[in-house]
Amino acid sequence: MDSSVFLTIFQKAIVLIMITAAPMLLSAIVVGLTLSIIQSVTQIQEQTLTFVPKIFAALIVLAFAAPWMLDVFTNSVREMFDYIKVLIAS
């Protein structure tokens, strides 16, 4: 296997990870930012207050986005396997 082929497959895998993780991470960022603003306005200095809402937000987004994430993942893995099959055949 050539190094460019390995790097291409590795790049596609990293992009796939970023795409599938983005919905949960973005929801956690939005909830965390909102709670931080609320804490700043109300002058509550509790650092652990934001963890539970962020986890719940990520789980709710995971529950709704799981079918889409699974579809993207399976299609991308199928494309990668087809790409590898073509490389082995040639």
Residue-wise pLDDT tens for the chain (90 aa)? 678 888 888 999 999 999 999 999 999 999 999 999 998 899 888 878 889 999 999 999 999 999 999 999 999 999 988 888 888 887
8-state DSSP, 1:
-
Distance of CA 75 to the CA centre of its chain: 16
Q: What is the pTM of this model?
A: 0.79
Tell me what pLDDT residue 68 has: 96
> Helical H runs in the chain?
3-42, 51-89
- Measured CA to CA in angstroms, residue 13 lies from 39, 60, 76 at distances of 38, 25, 9
Tell me what pLDDT residue 14 has: 95
Tell me what pLDDT residue 50 has: 84
Domain ranges (residues) in the chain: 3-89
